[in-house]
Amino acid sequence: MAKHHFEAEVSKLLQLMIHSLYSHKEIFLRELISNASDALDKLHLLTLTDEKFKNISFDPKITITIDEVEKRLIISDNGIGMDDVDLVENLGTIAKSGTKEFLESLSGDANKDAQLIGQFGVGFYSAFMVADRIEVISKKAGDKKAWIWRSEAGNEYEIDEATRDTQGTDVILYIRKEDEEYLSDWKIKEVVKKYSDHIPYKIFLKLAQKEPEQINKASALWKLSKNEITEDEYKEFYKTIAHDDNDPLYWIHTKAEGTIEYTTLFYIPSSRPFDLFRADYQSGVKLYVKNVFIMDDDKELLPVYLRFVRGIIDAEDLPLNVSREILQQNIVLSKIKKASTKKILNELKKLKEKDKDKYLKFWELFGRVIKEGLIADFENRKLLLELLLFKTSKSDEYIDLKTYVERMKQDQKGIYYLVGEENLKDSPLLERFRKEDIEVLLCEDEIDSFVMPALVQYKEKTFKSISSTEVDEDFEKSEIDESRYKDLLEKIKEILKEDVKEVKITSRLTESPAVLVFDKDDPEFQMYQMMRQMGQFDAKEPKPVLEINPEHEIFGKMVLSNDFSLVSEVATVIYNEARLLEGMKIKNVGDFAKAINTLAAKAVS
């Protein structure tokens, strides 16, 4: 008998199972049935495609046995099975990416953590919510040896040789006294009907001295017509395939007939998958061929920007033994992916039009990811533009581009936007637009610095950044006598020559003394930041143009008195103040503090 220690993440998850999910206990049965179904899926495919397994006698089923004498609940399958190495990998460690970061994000609040753990997918370990001891007896298909895994949810588990006649797995739960309702046939039937009615394999309930009774429909839900499926059945099926305790936000069920036949059932979750922003995210879409499970970890089934989608694709025209490499080049799957992407985006557009509140929740969850499609999926860009929502200089509520265009002034030259990190409404760049009563889109997501410059037009209206000198061409040139400020501008430029590209008079300001803008031929600061975050450390920070407000009293008094004794301090303060307002850091904190102190002392005297 070999003793093993759980990895630290498993130990922590086990404690969370026992102490945090007391109100969600019944999901343990859903998770164990789902695991059994996965094991049957894998062997089913091998019996059809691999010569080594074609002679196996395979009548796929799941059996739940209630042992009232020993207070045991046994969930058995005759699927692929596990050997001793598999038992360590599957039950002693968590291979899921981001596990450590996920566990660190838990708050200690049982109710909040229960929902987070639900979306993480608790799997096998949820059984410790109702059992104080678990044994797993398993024999891998094609092997002669069977193995037993034992644990009491402490820090360790044991693995030893065992006996089992056929391939498959028995999960044996020694039920706690307070959870003995799970040893009653009515409770098992209730939970199976709720969560596992549409597992595509027969589930039998076995009681002492009685014939096993089938307790589920064993029909692939996605193959049924929509009018045969209730709303509750759609929801519970989602919870099974997504390992999520929350109801889905929305679902899209499609049966395509014609040159290519396939069925898809896609779900939009009501909470973000924990690995949504990880490069090694797990795909949430399973691929079936003629009702036979093929794979569930292929990221090619949908575009990366739809990685939050959960569900199933069942194709009629793919070979069962199709490999991952062939799939990537397969014309049939490529057409299904293309049609499915368009279908999802069109359904989201319909949702936006018919249920604003639900779409708003979708946007808050996944809007940032949808924006990635604007860069990656040029073919669907027009459709993606219809899905965008923005807050604006005039509205704290989200509006779409259609609404923005309808509200544009008659002589407005373009769709104006401002990119930044936060508090964009305080930006001096908005002053001219407020004065002219022109609405500006406020773009505060990190990805906006990439996305917005990539957009060209919407309904023949051009996108224009108000941080760029390009927008100056849309307004009448100022009638200010710039010659009066020639000396001042030259002195400020000399002082800031290492930091700015140019210093000039502007008519874009009404209150602030100065503002930073970027030459239309240069990248903006947010783009530079994003490039640095992506590892492009050789990217040079673009030099901005410092524009000053000639009507501000600071410059009016300096020019009128021809007193430039404090111009160095003024230049340092207004430049760094402008940087702060645009989300940049102060260039030299020491010089900035010294300049403020000098000006403060002068003001007091």
Task: Evaluate if residue 351 carries a pLDDT over 80.
Answer: yes
Using alpha carbons, select from 600, 396, 429, 400 the residue that is nearest to residue 508: 429
Residue extents of the structural domains in the chain: 2-216, 223-357, 370-474, 482-604
CA dihedral 83, 85, 90, 95 (to 10 degrees): -150
Q: How far apart are CA 296 and CA 289, in angstroms?
A: 12
Q: Tell me the Cα Rg of the chain.
A: 32
- Please calculate the CA angle 31-35-40 and round it to the nearest 5 degrees: 145
Q: What is the β-pairing status of strands 61-67 and 202-206? A: parallel
Per-residue confidence band for 297, with pLDDT thresholds at 50, 70 and 90: confident
* Residue 397 confidence (pLDDT) above 80: yes
CATH (residue range 223-357): 3.30.230.80
Q: Provide the pLDDT for residue 3.
A: 84
User: Which range is least confidently modeled, 203-207, 480-484, 538-542?
Assistant: 538-542
Specify whether the CB–CB gap between 33 and 52 falls below 8 A.
Answer: no
- Report the top-level CATH class of 2-216: alpha beta
Mean pLDDT, residues 541-546 taken together: 85
The least confident of 93-97, 232-236, 480-484 is 93-97
Topology alike, domains 223-357 and 482-604: no
Q: Which residues contact 4 (CB under 8 A, 6 or more apart)?
A: 88, 92, 156, 157, 158, 159
At residue 422 the predicted structure's pLDDT band, cuts being 50, 70 and 90, is confident
β-bridge partners, 449: none
Which DSSP category does 22 fall into? Answer: G
- 557 alpha-carbon distance from chain centroid: 54
Q: 379-403 b/e with 16+ CB inside 10 Å = b?
A: ebbebbbbbbbbbbbbeeebbbbee
Tell me what the pLDDT averaged over the chain comes to: 88
What is the rounded distance in angstroms from the CA atom of residue 118 to the CA atom of residue 124? 13
Overall average pLDDT of the 249-267 stretch: 95
In the structure, what pLDDT confidence band is assigned to residue 437 with cuts at 50, 70 and 90? very high
Band (pLDDT 50/70/90 cuts) for residue 326 is confident
Sign of the CA dihedral 68, 73, 79, 81? negative
Residue 38 C-alpha from the chain's centroid: 24
Beta strands in 530-590 (DSSP E): 545-548
Q: Each residue of 130-152: pLDDT tens digit?
A: 999 999 999 999 999 999 999 88
pLDDT of residue 309 exceeding 90, the answer is: yes
| Mean pLDDT along residues 146-164 | 90
- Mean pLDDT, to the nearest integer, of 545-549? 92
Residue 154, pLDDT above cutoff 80: no
Identity of the residue numbered 411:
D
Which segments of 480-584 are extended strands (E)? 502-505, 514-517, 545-548
Closest among 302, 305, 298 to 327, alpha carbons compared: 298
Chain position carrying tokens 């640095």? 532
Task: Say yes or no to pLDDT of 167 above 90.
Answer: yes
pLDDT recorded at residue 280? 83
For the chain, the distance separating the N- and C-terminal CA atoms, rounded to the nearest angstrom, is 86
For the beta carbon of residue 213, count every other beta carbon within 10 angstroms: 12
Per DSSP, 293 falls in state: E
What pLDDT digit, counting tens, does each position of 504-522 carry? 999 889 999 999 988 877 6
Q: Return the closest-CA partner of residue 29 out of 286, 291, 214, 239.
A: 239
pLDDT per position as a tens digit, 28-63: 899 899 999 999 999 999 999 899 998 888 899 999
Q: Which of 568, 592, 567 is nearest to 578 (CA)?
A: 592
Assess whether pLDDT exceeds 80 at residue 599. yes
The answer to whether residue 314 scores a pLDDT higher than 80 is yes
Q: What percentage of the chain carries pLDDT values higher than 90?
A: 59
Higher pLDDT, 472 or 439: 439
pLDDT of amino acid 533: 61
432 has a pLDDT exceeding 60: yes
Q: Is the pLDDT of residue 539 over 80?
A: no
Per-residue pLDDT at 446:
86
Closest CA to 254 of 377, 347, 383, 318: 347
CA–CA separation, 586 and 592 (whole Å): 8
Over the stretch 82-122, which tens digit does the pLDDT of each residue have? 999 999 888 876 655 555 666 666 655 555 555 555 455 55
What CATH number does the domain located at 482-604 have? 1.20.120.790
CATH number of 370-474: 3.40.50.11260
Residue type, 133: R
Q: Residue 193: how many CB atoms within 10 A of its CB?
A: 15
Residue 68 has pLDDT above 70, yes or no: yes
How open is the CA angle 190-192-195, to the nearest 5 degrees? 105
Regarding predicted confidence, which is higher, 4 or 287?
287
Q: How far apart are CA 182 and CA 266, in angstroms?
A: 32
